[in-house]
Amino acid sequence: MNNWGIIGVGRIGLSMARNMSSKGISLSLYDKTFQKKSDSIFKEKKLYSDLKKTFVFKDISSFVKSIKKPRKVLILVPTGNPNDSVISNLIKILDEGDILIDAGNTNPVISLKNKLKTKKNKILYLGMGVSGGVDGVLKGPSIMIGGDINAFNQVKDDFSLITSKTIDNTFSFDLFGDSNQGHFIKMIHNGIEYVEMQLIASMYKLLIDSNNYNNQEIAEIFNEWNNSEQKSYLMDISIKQILEKIENKYLIEKIDDVADDNGTGRWMLNYGIELGCSTNMLSSAINTRFISKLKDDRSKISKMVNKSSKKYSVDTKSLSKAYQFCRLVNYIQSFCLINAANKDYNWNINISKVLNVWSSGSIIKSSLINDLYSNYSVENILSDKEIIKELNGYKPDLISIITLSLENDISIPCFGNALNYFNSISSKTLSTNMIQAQRNFFGSHPIKIN
Protein backbone atom coordinates (compact mmCIF):
# COMPACT_ATOMS: atom_id res chain seq x y z
CA MET A 1 0.00 0.00 0.00
CA ASN A 2 1.31 3.46 -0.90
CA ASN A 3 1.28 6.61 1.26
CA TRP A 4 -0.24 8.96 -1.31
CA GLY A 5 -1.89 9.05 -4.72
CA ILE A 6 -1.40 11.62 -7.46
CA ILE A 7 -3.86 12.05 -10.31
CA GLY A 8 -2.53 14.09 -13.23
CA VAL A 9 1.07 13.41 -14.15
CA GLY A 10 1.76 16.26 -16.58
CA ARG A 11 4.78 18.53 -16.17
CA ILE A 12 3.81 19.81 -12.71
CA GLY A 13 2.44 16.42 -11.57
CA LEU A 14 5.71 14.77 -12.57
CA SER A 15 7.74 17.33 -10.58
CA MET A 16 5.48 16.81 -7.56
CA ALA A 17 5.85 13.01 -7.87
CA ARG A 18 9.65 13.30 -8.08
CA ASN A 19 9.75 15.66 -5.11
CA MET A 20 7.53 13.47 -2.89
CA SER A 21 9.09 10.20 -3.92
CA SER A 22 12.61 11.55 -3.30
CA LYS A 23 11.55 12.29 0.30
CA GLY A 24 10.63 8.64 0.81
CA ILE A 25 6.86 9.05 0.29
CA SER A 26 5.57 6.08 -1.69
CA LEU A 27 3.14 7.09 -4.42
CA SER A 28 0.45 5.64 -6.65
CA LEU A 29 0.21 7.53 -9.94
CA TYR A 30 -2.74 7.76 -12.27
CA ASP A 31 -3.23 9.79 -15.41
CA LYS A 32 -5.88 9.17 -18.01
CA THR A 33 -3.22 9.03 -20.72
CA PHE A 34 -1.68 5.94 -19.04
CA GLN A 35 -4.46 3.81 -20.52
CA LYS A 36 -3.05 4.52 -23.94
CA LYS A 37 0.62 5.19 -23.39
CA SER A 38 1.78 4.20 -19.94
CA ASP A 39 5.16 3.51 -21.53
CA SER A 40 5.97 7.25 -21.45
CA ILE A 41 5.88 7.36 -17.64
CA PHE A 42 8.07 4.26 -17.50
CA LYS A 43 10.58 6.14 -19.62
CA GLU A 44 10.40 8.98 -17.08
CA LYS A 45 10.89 6.44 -14.31
CA LYS A 46 14.09 5.25 -15.95
CA LEU A 47 15.18 8.82 -16.51
CA TYR A 48 14.62 10.02 -12.96
CA SER A 49 15.96 7.85 -10.16
CA ASP A 50 13.82 9.86 -7.73
CA LEU A 51 10.70 8.20 -9.17
CA LYS A 52 11.63 4.83 -7.72
CA LYS A 53 9.00 5.00 -4.98
CA THR A 54 6.20 5.51 -7.51
CA PHE A 55 3.76 2.92 -8.88
CA VAL A 56 1.79 3.49 -12.05
CA PHE A 57 -1.88 2.49 -12.49
CA LYS A 58 -3.88 2.33 -15.68
CA ASP A 59 -7.33 2.46 -14.11
CA ILE A 60 -8.59 4.67 -11.37
CA SER A 61 -10.14 1.98 -9.15
CA SER A 62 -6.97 -0.06 -8.78
CA PHE A 63 -5.13 3.23 -8.23
CA VAL A 64 -7.47 4.08 -5.33
CA LYS A 65 -7.25 0.57 -3.86
CA SER A 66 -3.45 0.79 -3.79
CA ILE A 67 -3.39 3.75 -1.35
CA LYS A 68 -3.23 3.38 2.45
CA LYS A 69 -6.39 4.46 4.33
CA PRO A 70 -7.33 7.18 5.12
CA ARG A 71 -6.25 7.87 1.54
CA LYS A 72 -4.56 11.09 0.54
CA VAL A 73 -5.10 11.91 -3.12
CA LEU A 74 -3.56 14.92 -4.80
CA ILE A 75 -5.20 16.11 -8.03
CA LEU A 76 -2.99 18.04 -10.43
CA VAL A 77 -5.29 18.27 -13.43
CA PRO A 78 -5.95 21.47 -15.42
CA THR A 79 -8.88 23.55 -14.26
CA GLY A 80 -12.25 23.29 -16.00
CA ASN A 81 -13.82 20.10 -17.38
CA PRO A 82 -10.81 17.77 -16.87
CA ASN A 83 -10.56 18.77 -13.20
CA ASP A 84 -14.33 18.63 -12.61
CA SER A 85 -14.69 15.16 -14.08
CA VAL A 86 -11.74 13.71 -12.10
CA ILE A 87 -13.20 15.08 -8.87
CA SER A 88 -16.71 13.77 -9.63
CA ASN A 89 -15.32 10.29 -10.44
CA LEU A 90 -13.10 10.19 -7.42
CA ILE A 91 -15.87 11.15 -5.01
CA LYS A 92 -17.72 8.00 -6.09
CA ILE A 93 -14.77 5.72 -5.33
CA LEU A 94 -13.18 7.21 -2.20
CA ASP A 95 -14.30 6.15 1.29
CA GLU A 96 -15.44 8.14 4.29
CA GLY A 97 -12.50 9.95 5.93
CA ASP A 98 -10.30 9.91 2.80
CA ILE A 99 -8.71 13.23 1.83
CA LEU A 100 -9.16 14.72 -1.63
CA ILE A 101 -6.81 17.59 -2.43
CA ASP A 102 -7.45 19.75 -5.47
CA ALA A 103 -4.04 21.21 -6.28
CA GLY A 104 -4.97 22.83 -9.59
CA ASN A 105 -5.42 26.52 -10.37
CA THR A 106 -9.09 26.23 -9.44
CA ASN A 107 -11.52 29.12 -9.27
CA PRO A 108 -12.29 29.72 -5.54
CA VAL A 109 -16.02 29.54 -6.32
CA ILE A 110 -15.61 26.03 -7.79
CA SER A 111 -13.40 25.06 -4.87
CA LEU A 112 -16.26 25.76 -2.46
CA LYS A 113 -18.65 23.72 -4.63
CA ASN A 114 -16.16 20.83 -4.63
CA LYS A 115 -16.04 20.90 -0.87
CA LEU A 116 -19.81 20.63 -0.66
CA LYS A 117 -19.77 17.71 -3.14
CA THR A 118 -17.17 15.78 -1.11
CA LYS A 119 -18.94 16.56 2.17
CA LYS A 120 -22.00 14.55 1.13
CA ASN A 121 -19.80 11.41 1.09
CA LYS A 122 -17.90 12.44 4.23
CA ILE A 123 -14.70 12.85 2.24
CA LEU A 124 -12.39 15.59 3.53
CA TYR A 125 -11.48 18.32 1.04
CA LEU A 126 -8.49 20.62 0.75
CA GLY A 127 -8.28 23.31 -1.94
CA MET A 128 -4.61 23.91 -2.57
CA GLY A 129 -2.83 26.49 -4.69
CA VAL A 130 0.67 25.44 -5.77
CA SER A 131 3.25 27.87 -7.07
CA GLY A 132 6.73 27.33 -8.39
CA GLY A 133 6.46 25.95 -11.92
CA VAL A 134 8.21 22.77 -12.99
CA ASP A 135 11.46 23.53 -11.17
CA GLY A 136 9.94 25.11 -8.04
CA VAL A 137 7.54 22.20 -7.51
CA LEU A 138 10.46 19.80 -7.76
CA LYS A 139 12.64 21.69 -5.28
CA GLY A 140 10.12 23.04 -2.74
CA PRO A 141 6.96 24.79 -3.91
CA SER A 142 4.92 27.46 -2.20
CA ILE A 143 1.61 25.89 -1.13
CA MET A 144 -1.52 27.80 -0.13
CA ILE A 145 -4.13 25.57 1.46
CA GLY A 146 -7.77 26.06 2.41
CA GLY A 147 -10.10 23.55 4.00
CA ASP A 148 -10.58 21.02 6.72
CA ILE A 149 -8.17 21.40 9.68
CA ASN A 150 -8.42 17.71 10.43
CA ALA A 151 -7.30 16.91 6.87
CA PHE A 152 -4.55 19.55 7.09
CA ASN A 153 -3.20 17.97 10.28
CA GLN A 154 -2.93 14.64 8.49
CA VAL A 155 -0.89 16.01 5.56
CA LYS A 156 1.25 18.69 7.19
CA ASP A 157 4.20 16.47 8.16
CA ASP A 158 4.61 15.32 4.57
CA PHE A 159 4.27 18.89 3.32
CA SER A 160 7.14 19.97 5.58
CA LEU A 161 9.26 17.43 3.70
CA ILE A 162 8.46 18.68 0.20
CA THR A 163 8.39 22.47 0.72
CA SER A 164 11.22 24.95 1.37
CA LYS A 165 12.29 27.18 4.27
CA THR A 166 10.63 30.61 4.38
CA ILE A 167 11.60 34.01 5.70
CA ASP A 168 10.35 33.18 9.22
CA ASN A 169 12.18 29.86 9.12
CA THR A 170 9.04 27.75 8.78
CA PHE A 171 8.01 25.85 5.63
CA SER A 172 6.42 27.29 2.52
CA PHE A 173 2.88 26.01 3.13
CA ASP A 174 0.05 27.04 5.41
CA LEU A 175 -3.65 26.68 6.05
CA PHE A 176 -5.80 29.76 5.35
CA GLY A 177 -9.41 29.19 6.36
CA ASP A 178 -12.05 27.38 4.36
CA SER A 179 -11.56 25.33 1.17
CA ASN A 180 -11.76 28.27 -1.26
CA GLN A 181 -9.30 30.51 0.57
CA GLY A 182 -6.18 28.60 -0.51
CA HIS A 183 -7.23 28.95 -4.13
CA PHE A 184 -8.18 32.59 -3.50
CA ILE A 185 -4.66 33.33 -2.27
CA LYS A 186 -3.16 31.51 -5.26
CA MET A 187 -5.37 33.64 -7.50
CA ILE A 188 -4.05 36.81 -5.82
CA HIS A 189 -0.51 35.44 -6.24
CA ASN A 190 -1.15 35.07 -9.96
CA GLY A 191 -2.57 38.60 -10.22
CA ILE A 192 0.63 39.94 -8.64
CA GLU A 193 2.62 37.72 -11.01
CA TYR A 194 0.84 39.11 -14.11
CA VAL A 195 1.62 42.71 -13.08
CA GLU A 196 5.24 42.00 -12.14
CA MET A 197 5.74 40.28 -15.49
CA GLN A 198 4.14 43.16 -17.38
CA LEU A 199 6.26 45.76 -15.55
CA ILE A 200 9.46 43.99 -16.59
CA ALA A 201 8.14 43.54 -20.14
CA SER A 202 7.21 47.25 -20.33
CA MET A 203 10.68 48.32 -19.16
CA TYR A 204 12.35 46.03 -21.68
CA LYS A 205 10.20 47.58 -24.41
CA LEU A 206 11.04 51.15 -23.35
CA LEU A 207 14.76 50.36 -23.29
CA ILE A 208 15.02 48.33 -26.49
CA ASP A 209 12.91 50.80 -28.49
CA SER A 210 15.15 53.68 -27.44
CA ASN A 211 17.78 52.35 -29.87
CA ASN A 212 20.29 53.10 -27.17
CA TYR A 213 20.58 49.69 -25.55
CA ASN A 214 21.01 46.18 -26.90
CA ASN A 215 19.91 43.00 -25.13
CA GLN A 216 23.27 42.57 -23.46
CA GLU A 217 23.15 46.10 -22.04
CA ILE A 218 19.54 45.75 -20.87
CA ALA A 219 20.44 42.48 -19.14
CA GLU A 220 23.30 44.30 -17.40
CA ILE A 221 20.96 47.06 -16.15
CA PHE A 222 18.45 44.52 -14.88
CA ASN A 223 21.24 42.46 -13.39
CA GLU A 224 22.50 45.41 -11.39
CA TRP A 225 19.01 45.88 -9.91
CA ASN A 226 18.69 42.17 -9.37
CA ASN A 227 21.86 42.21 -7.29
CA SER A 228 20.32 44.76 -4.95
CA GLU A 229 16.99 45.09 -3.14
CA GLN A 230 15.09 44.64 -6.41
CA LYS A 231 15.98 40.97 -6.65
CA SER A 232 13.20 38.68 -7.77
CA TYR A 233 12.74 35.30 -9.39
CA LEU A 234 10.81 36.92 -12.25
CA MET A 235 13.61 39.43 -12.88
CA ASP A 236 16.10 36.58 -12.72
CA ILE A 237 14.38 34.54 -15.41
CA SER A 238 13.69 37.62 -17.54
CA ILE A 239 17.42 38.39 -17.65
CA LYS A 240 18.10 34.81 -18.74
CA GLN A 241 15.44 35.06 -21.44
CA ILE A 242 16.76 38.41 -22.70
CA LEU A 243 20.16 36.79 -23.25
CA GLU A 244 18.92 33.46 -24.64
CA LYS A 245 20.03 32.90 -28.23
CA ILE A 246 18.78 30.53 -30.88
CA GLU A 247 20.53 30.15 -34.24
CA ASN A 248 22.68 33.15 -33.37
CA LYS A 249 19.67 35.41 -32.85
CA TYR A 250 18.08 36.54 -29.61
CA LEU A 251 15.18 34.22 -28.79
CA ILE A 252 13.07 37.12 -27.48
CA GLU A 253 13.17 38.73 -30.93
CA LYS A 254 11.87 35.54 -32.53
CA ILE A 255 9.03 34.92 -30.09
CA ASP A 256 5.56 35.80 -31.35
CA ASP A 257 4.33 38.98 -29.66
CA VAL A 258 1.08 37.46 -28.31
CA ALA A 259 0.32 36.31 -24.75
CA ASP A 260 -2.26 33.87 -23.38
CA ASP A 261 -3.63 33.48 -19.87
CA ASN A 262 -5.19 30.63 -17.90
CA GLY A 263 -7.99 32.65 -16.32
CA THR A 264 -6.70 33.26 -12.79
CA GLY A 265 -6.10 36.97 -13.46
CA ARG A 266 -9.61 37.36 -14.89
CA TRP A 267 -11.08 35.81 -11.73
CA MET A 268 -9.13 38.25 -9.60
CA LEU A 269 -10.46 41.16 -11.65
CA ASN A 270 -13.97 39.80 -11.07
CA TYR A 271 -13.32 39.64 -7.33
CA GLY A 272 -12.12 43.25 -7.48
CA ILE A 273 -15.39 44.22 -9.14
CA GLU A 274 -17.51 42.17 -6.72
CA LEU A 275 -15.72 43.61 -3.69
CA GLY A 276 -15.47 47.15 -5.06
CA CYS A 277 -11.65 47.30 -4.98
CA SER A 278 -9.36 48.88 -7.53
CA THR A 279 -7.14 46.38 -9.33
CA ASN A 280 -6.35 48.76 -12.18
CA MET A 281 -2.76 47.53 -12.59
CA LEU A 282 -3.91 43.95 -13.08
CA SER A 283 -6.60 45.15 -15.45
CA SER A 284 -3.95 46.84 -17.57
CA ALA A 285 -1.70 43.76 -17.51
CA ILE A 286 -4.53 41.49 -18.67
CA ASN A 287 -5.81 43.95 -21.24
CA THR A 288 -2.34 44.03 -22.74
CA ARG A 289 -2.54 40.26 -23.24
CA PHE A 290 -5.99 40.69 -24.84
CA ILE A 291 -4.77 43.45 -27.17
CA SER A 292 -1.72 41.37 -28.07
CA LYS A 293 -4.08 38.87 -29.70
CA LEU A 294 -5.31 41.46 -32.20
CA LYS A 295 -2.08 40.95 -34.08
CA ASP A 296 -3.45 41.51 -37.59
CA ASP A 297 -5.36 44.62 -36.56
CA ARG A 298 -2.29 45.99 -34.79
CA SER A 299 -0.22 45.42 -37.83
CA LYS A 300 -2.73 47.15 -40.14
CA ILE A 301 -3.32 50.12 -37.84
CA SER A 302 0.40 50.60 -37.24
CA LYS A 303 0.75 51.42 -40.95
CA MET A 304 -1.87 54.18 -40.64
CA VAL A 305 -0.48 55.90 -37.56
CA ASN A 306 2.73 57.83 -37.52
CA LYS A 307 4.83 57.03 -34.52
CA SER A 308 7.92 58.69 -33.29
CA SER A 309 11.00 56.75 -34.30
CA LYS A 310 13.69 58.94 -32.82
CA LYS A 311 16.45 57.73 -30.59
CA TYR A 312 15.96 58.68 -26.95
CA SER A 313 17.83 58.11 -23.75
CA VAL A 314 16.41 56.54 -20.64
CA ASP A 315 17.51 57.58 -17.18
CA THR A 316 17.86 54.07 -15.74
CA LYS A 317 18.02 55.37 -12.16
CA SER A 318 14.61 56.96 -12.67
CA LEU A 319 13.36 53.80 -14.31
CA SER A 320 14.42 51.76 -11.32
CA LYS A 321 12.54 54.08 -8.94
CA ALA A 322 9.46 54.12 -11.18
CA TYR A 323 9.57 50.31 -11.18
CA GLN A 324 9.78 50.24 -7.40
CA PHE A 325 6.81 52.60 -7.17
CA CYS A 326 4.71 50.33 -9.38
CA ARG A 327 5.69 47.16 -7.54
CA LEU A 328 4.60 48.70 -4.25
CA VAL A 329 1.25 49.81 -5.66
CA ASN A 330 0.72 46.30 -7.07
CA TYR A 331 1.07 44.86 -3.55
CA ILE A 332 -1.08 47.63 -2.02
CA GLN A 333 -3.92 46.79 -4.43
CA SER A 334 -3.62 43.06 -3.71
CA PHE A 335 -3.56 43.54 0.06
CA CYS A 336 -6.63 45.81 -0.12
CA LEU A 337 -8.46 43.08 -2.04
CA ILE A 338 -7.58 40.47 0.60
CA ASN A 339 -8.78 42.83 3.34
CA ALA A 340 -12.03 43.51 1.49
CA ALA A 341 -12.60 39.75 1.14
CA ASN A 342 -11.88 39.28 4.86
CA LYS A 343 -14.45 41.93 5.66
CA ASP A 344 -17.20 40.98 3.22
CA TYR A 345 -16.93 37.20 3.49
CA ASN A 346 -16.02 37.15 7.16
CA TRP A 347 -12.66 35.53 6.43
CA ASN A 348 -9.53 35.88 8.46
CA ILE A 349 -6.65 35.72 5.98
CA ASN A 350 -3.49 37.00 7.62
CA ILE A 351 -1.38 38.86 5.05
CA SER A 352 1.92 38.27 6.93
CA LYS A 353 1.24 34.55 6.82
CA VAL A 354 0.54 34.81 3.10
CA LEU A 355 3.81 36.68 2.48
CA ASN A 356 5.67 34.09 4.50
CA VAL A 357 4.36 31.29 2.26
CA TRP A 358 5.15 33.30 -0.88
CA SER A 359 8.67 34.13 0.33
CA SER A 360 10.02 30.78 -0.79
CA GLY A 361 9.31 28.50 -3.75
CA SER A 362 6.78 30.78 -5.42
CA ILE A 363 7.03 32.48 -8.81
CA ILE A 364 6.76 35.90 -7.13
CA LYS A 365 9.43 35.29 -4.49
CA SER A 366 11.56 38.41 -4.17
CA SER A 367 13.43 40.69 -1.79
CA LEU A 368 10.37 42.93 -1.90
CA ILE A 369 8.20 40.19 -0.34
CA ASN A 370 10.76 39.77 2.43
CA ASP A 371 10.92 43.53 2.90
CA LEU A 372 7.13 43.88 3.06
CA TYR A 373 6.99 41.01 5.54
CA SER A 374 9.64 42.50 7.82
CA ASN A 375 9.22 46.25 7.54
CA TYR A 376 5.66 47.26 6.66
CA SER A 377 2.22 47.19 8.33
CA VAL A 378 0.93 44.81 5.69
CA GLU A 379 -2.40 44.10 7.39
CA ASN A 380 -3.25 47.79 7.15
CA ILE A 381 -1.04 48.96 4.33
CA LEU A 382 -2.83 52.24 3.55
CA SER A 383 -2.13 53.43 7.10
CA ASP A 384 1.59 52.74 6.74
CA LYS A 385 3.14 56.22 6.64
CA GLU A 386 6.49 54.88 5.40
CA ILE A 387 5.10 53.35 2.22
CA ILE A 388 3.23 56.57 1.38
CA LYS A 389 6.42 58.59 1.97
CA GLU A 390 8.35 56.21 -0.21
CA LEU A 391 5.82 56.40 -3.05
CA ASN A 392 5.81 60.17 -2.83
CA GLY A 393 9.60 60.15 -3.13
CA TYR A 394 9.54 57.94 -6.26
CA LYS A 395 6.68 59.80 -7.90
CA PRO A 396 8.75 62.40 -9.87
CA ASP A 397 10.77 59.55 -11.42
CA LEU A 398 7.60 57.72 -12.39
CA ILE A 399 6.23 60.89 -13.99
CA SER A 400 9.42 61.39 -15.99
CA ILE A 401 9.33 57.77 -17.23
CA ILE A 402 5.66 58.00 -18.20
CA THR A 403 6.34 61.32 -19.96
CA LEU A 404 9.22 59.76 -21.87
CA SER A 405 6.97 56.91 -22.99
CA LEU A 406 4.24 59.33 -24.12
CA GLU A 407 6.69 61.51 -26.03
CA ASN A 408 7.99 58.48 -27.87
CA ASP A 409 4.68 56.65 -28.44
CA ILE A 410 5.74 53.64 -26.42
CA SER A 411 3.02 51.82 -24.57
CA ILE A 412 4.21 50.86 -21.06
CA PRO A 413 1.17 49.20 -19.49
CA CYS A 414 0.69 49.35 -15.71
CA PHE A 415 2.93 52.37 -15.05
CA GLY A 416 0.23 54.99 -15.65
CA ASN A 417 -2.29 52.93 -13.66
CA ALA A 418 -0.03 52.94 -10.63
CA LEU A 419 0.40 56.72 -10.83
CA ASN A 420 -3.33 57.33 -11.23
CA TYR A 421 -4.08 55.07 -8.29
CA PHE A 422 -1.61 56.91 -6.10
CA ASN A 423 -2.86 60.32 -7.22
CA SER A 424 -6.41 59.25 -6.34
CA ILE A 425 -5.63 57.58 -3.06
CA SER A 426 -3.63 60.63 -1.95
CA SER A 427 -6.31 63.18 -2.93
CA LYS A 428 -8.62 64.62 -0.32
CA THR A 429 -11.00 65.57 -3.11
CA LEU A 430 -11.72 63.47 -6.18
CA SER A 431 -14.14 64.10 -9.03
CA THR A 432 -16.89 62.03 -7.45
CA ASN A 433 -18.94 64.95 -6.11
CA MET A 434 -19.67 65.65 -9.79
CA ILE A 435 -20.60 61.97 -10.31
CA GLN A 436 -23.04 62.26 -7.40
CA ALA A 437 -24.53 65.43 -8.88
CA GLN A 438 -24.99 63.78 -12.31
CA ARG A 439 -26.57 60.64 -10.81
CA ASN A 440 -28.87 62.83 -8.78
CA PHE A 441 -29.93 64.83 -11.83
CA PHE A 442 -30.84 61.96 -14.13
CA GLY A 443 -31.80 59.26 -11.66
CA SER A 444 -32.87 61.15 -8.54
CA HIS A 445 -30.24 59.20 -6.62
CA PRO A 446 -29.96 60.72 -3.15
CA ILE A 447 -27.00 63.06 -2.59
CA LYS A 448 -24.71 62.61 0.37
CA ILE A 449 -23.59 65.98 1.75
CA ASN A 450 -20.28 66.52 3.65
Chain positions contacting ligand 6PG, by CB under 6 A? 105, 131-133, 190, 193, 260-262, 264-265, 362-363
Phi, psi of 70 (to 5 degrees): -65, 135
In the set 45, 186, 365, 395, the catalytic residue is 186
Minimum distance from residue 206 beta carbon to ligand 6PG (Å)? 22
> At residue 375, what is the residue type?
N
Q: In 3D, which of 342, 378, 336 has the Cα closest to residue 358?
A: 378
Residues 90 and 73: beta-carbon distance below 8 Å:
yes
Comparing every residue's Cβ against ligand 6PG, the nearest one is 131
- Cβ-in-10-Å burial (0-12, 13-18, 19+) of 125 comes to buried
Our CB check for ligand 6PG shows the closer of 97 and 133 to be 133
186 counts as catalytic:
yes
Residues 130 and 143: beta-carbon distance below 8 Å:
yes
Minimum distance from residue 76 beta carbon to ligand 6PG (Å)? 11
Round to whole Å and give the CA distance between 118 and 96.
Answer: 10
Compute the residue count for the chain: 450
Helix (H, G, I), strand (E, B) or coil at 125: strand
Round to whole Å and give the CA distance between 405 and 204.
Answer: 12
Minimum distance from residue 264 beta carbon to ligand 6PG (Å)? 5
Our CB check for ligand 6PG shows the closer of 130 and 314 to be 130
> At residue 138, what is the residue type?
L
Helix (H, G, I), strand (E, B) or coil at 55: strand
Minimum distance from residue 131 beta carbon to ligand 6PG (Å)? 3
In the set 193, 196, 321, 395, the catalytic residue is 193
Our CB check for ligand 6PG shows the closer of 28 and 362 to be 362
Round to whole Å and give the CA distance between 123 and 407.
Answer: 60
CB atoms near residue 118 (< 10 Å): 24
Our CB check for ligand 6PG shows the closer of 141 and 416 to be 141
Our CB check for ligand 6PG shows the closer of 264 and 330 to be 264
Minimum distance from residue 380 beta carbon to ligand 6PG (Å)? 26
Give the residue numbers marked as catalytic: 186, 193
